[in-house]
Chains A and B, each alone.
Chain A
Amino acid sequence: MRKRTTESSGLGAKGGRATGVLDQESPERSSSQTLDHKELLNIYHQMVLVRRFEEKAAEIYSAGKIGGFCHLYIGQEAVAIGAISAIRKDDYAVTSYREHAHAIAKGMSPESVMAELYGKATGCSQGKGGSMHMFDKEVGFLGGHAIVGGQIPLATGAAFASKYKGTDQVTLCFFGEAAVNQGAFHESLNLAQLWKLPCIFICENNQYGMGTSLERAMSSQDISQKALAYDIAAEFVDGMDVLAVREATLRAVARARKDYLPTLLEVRTYRFMGHSMSDPGNYRTRAEIERHQERDPIKLFLASLTAQGLLSDSEVKEIEAQVKEQIEKAVRFAEESPFPDPKELYTHVYATPLTPNRG
């Protein structure tokens, strides 16, 4: 690969979009033009859905109905929605513990995700995983994983299996920028390129690992450039622009499907909420958050769609109404579902039961 030649736009650059090696080399054409009206509306709908879902989750968490940790995704929606819109249902996605949006985007129902937050038997993981461990085999969602960087080797394994079986499935692997400092990241990028695995590494750079800023944690903060060390193609993407994320992912997906090649995408984003619900947020200023909120990914997409005459006021209202109904339905489902039966404590420990000698 050639060295990345992007302008260092970063977050806050008006209208900033993906640039990088693939822009110059990829034969893929920009795909936003190819999305029809319905598909654009669907992307907008999903972004609003996961935003409202998270707002509701925060409310319910504060009411004490959701336990444990609850890491919200508000502000980062363009990343999961944009990237997952670029893959098929039979492709795989795997991510960290900040995963409600990825789960829904991959095709899981808001009901099963909400019920899991409630710890109910009808949750996607039958109440055994909670906010950080959501899974759905049916839609290829390989889970939320809660050790920072732990999902990255798993993603290379799913990609390895696709190549081994000779399918053209790809794997999207999401992780935060703090995971880039973990050995798991480096070991996995090395293996992915060494063995030519169809894995797309999507670093959601929200600029804070819990309360520690990127500047305080990473000696060299140009994350996409780390791909150079492994001879992996990389791209820097504006993570507040859902179509830019989608397009960059499409380029990476094409490489993965055709040539079994991995890609690293550094997607610059920002989380508007705390690291988790218990985060006092004293490591950044209100002004900083507000500055980023000016580039709220949903607002940006809405402005772009309306400016192009692709979305009317009445359609916006209709989507909001539909989302409201979806959320209410999810909450009602979770509220009314039973907690797991006590006997479920001992199920799913082993796939093949232990010998009768030991219960």
Chain B
Amino acid sequence: MALVTMREALNQALREEMLRDEDVFLMGEEVGAYQGAYKVTKGLLEELGPKRVLDTPITELGFAGLGVGAAMVGLRPIVEFMTFNFSILATDQIINSAAKMLYMSGGQFKIPIVFRGPGGSAFQVSSQHSQALESWFAYFPGLKVVMPSTPADAKGLLKSAIRDDDPVIFIEQERMYGHKGEVPDDPDFTIPLGVADIKRAGTDATIVARSLMVPVALKAAEALQQQGVSCEVIDPRTIRPLDIETIIRSVKKTNRVVVAEESHPFCGVAAEISTEISERAFDYLDAPVKRVSGADVPMPYAKNLEDLAIPGVDQIVAAVREVAYLD
């Protein structure tokens, strides 16, 4: 085990998997000579060479589609979006090509590709560079969607994503690249997709949180503990496939749920989780499922407004107190 940042953990996963499998290559804007806009790909060009690490022009649709085509005939591309905001330009290839190819070819063409990069809220970069897009991608059968919240999860899940035979959307939280955590050194360390992690065990209420909301939920759980409320914090880690069983087991124990997310509430992942809970564990609920979501507005620039747009500890605490009928 070593204490490393999320950024370093991701870098280790990329390096190890590229050394392990010649068919894996990495491409994206500034991933090579520049060492990555967020330094996740630092040193890879030097170690693996320009055949394996390719700097692309700013042409998201073009290189995303190139990746899908290469995956059709046997390569295993890792496509970095400098940020997931720019993946919007590539959605035709992600959705209409990558997600559907296996199905519409009657099982002939699998697409082992990873689309990765930072997503979610960033620091004061306003509406076009600061948004959570996971519900878009999670909507489509054929895609898998991963959102790690710790360096160890980031490494283990990215390695699994690269080894997976399906297209994987791997969203790294832009604010979390500097977060540190213990990460196993074992090159065979992986975490399977579709398995939630109980980040904190508790008995009185369940908080389901992903990505940036996990550390926020853990702080809220700490504060609630002081108030005599024991919270279980569940991190699904993969949005699709979603480990709903682990969530349901927790709900059956605590009977109260808050789902926290930084994305917009409407048609969001929390709405889906809430519905799943209603369908599967309605009789176990002592209060309606409560969502804590990002503000339903484009992300503002001003610091005070931006702070208001992203859920914080206080909102999660208030939501848990609400489902526990404490106020």
Contacts and interface: CB of A to CB of B under 8 A. Distances in A.
A166 to B, nearest CB: 10
Contacts of B51: 164
A156 interface: yes
Contacts of B193: 355
Interface string B90-120: 0011001100011111111111100000000
B43 interface: no
A339 to B, nearest CB: 13
Given A137-B108, A147-B92, A355-B193, 8 more contacts: A137-B105, A137-B109, A152-B65, A153-B61, A187-B62, A348-B103, A348-B107, A349-B103
Contacts of A248: none
Contacts of B178: none
Contacts of B67: 157
Contacts of B245: 357-358
A161 B75 contact: yes
Contacts of B69: 94, 142, 153-161
A124 B51 CA distance: 35
B132 to A, nearest CB: 22
A147 B133 CA distance: 23
Contacts of A153: 61-66, 68-69, 93
Nearest to A194: B57
Interface stretch (A81-89, A126-134, A218-226, A300-308): A126-134
Contacts of B107: 126, 347-348
A142 B69 CA distance: 9
A124 B106 contact: yes
Nearest to A182: B61
Contacts of A351: 102, 110-112, 165-166
A125 interface: yes
A135 B108 contact: yes
A123 interface: yes
A106 interface: no
A159 B96 CA distance: 20
Contact of A127 (B64, B106, B166): B106
A358 B242 contact: yes
A129 B104 contact: yes
B184 interface: no
B66 A156 contact: yes
A43 interface: no
B236 to A, nearest CB: 10
A267 B104 CA distance: 29
A150 interface: yes
A354 interface: yes
Contacts of B56: 191
Interface in B29-69: 51, 54, 56-57, 59, 61-69
A92 B72 CA distance: 11
B26 to A, nearest CB: 12
A349 to B, nearest CB: 5
A150 B62 CA distance: 10
A157 B71 CA distance: 8
Given A348-B102, A348-B107, A158 B59 contact: no
Contacts of B93: 150, 153-154
Contacts of A358: 194, 241-245
Contacts of A155: 69
Interface in B65-86: 65-75, 77
Contact of B102 (A164, A350, A355): A350
A155 B108 CA distance: 17
Q: Which 10 residue pairs spanning A and B have beta carbons closest together?
A: A157-B69, A153-B65, A187-B62, A126-B106, A355-B194, A154-B69, A135-B105, A351-B165, A351-B110, A354-B241
17 contacts: A94-B69, A125-B106, A135-B105, A153-B61, A153-B62, A153-B64, A153-B65, A154-B93, A158-B73, A159-B69, A191-B57, A349-B103, A349-B141, A350-B102, A350-B144, A352-B164, A355-B195
A190 B56 CA distance: 11
A223 B101 CA distance: 30
A125 B54 CA distance: 33
Nearest to A145: B97
A143 interface: yes
B106 A154 contact: no
A143 B54 CA distance: 27
Contacts of A133: 104-105
B151 to A, nearest CB: 23
Interface string B131-172: 000000000011010000000000000000000111000000
Nearest to A157: B69
A237 B307 CA distance: 60
B58 to A, nearest CB: 10
Contacts of A357: 194-195, 241-246
Nearest to A144: B104
Contacts of B241: 354-355, 357-358
A184 interface: yes
A72 to B, nearest CB: 21
B70 A161 contact: yes
Nearest to B195: A355
A183 B61 CA distance: 8
A160 to B, nearest CB: 5
A193 B303 CA distance: 44
A305 to B, nearest CB: 36
B246 to A, nearest CB: 7
Contacts of B63: 153, 187, 191
Contact of A187 (B59, B72, B74): B59
B177 interface: no
Contacts of B66: 153-154, 156-157, 160, 188, 191
Interface in A280-338: none
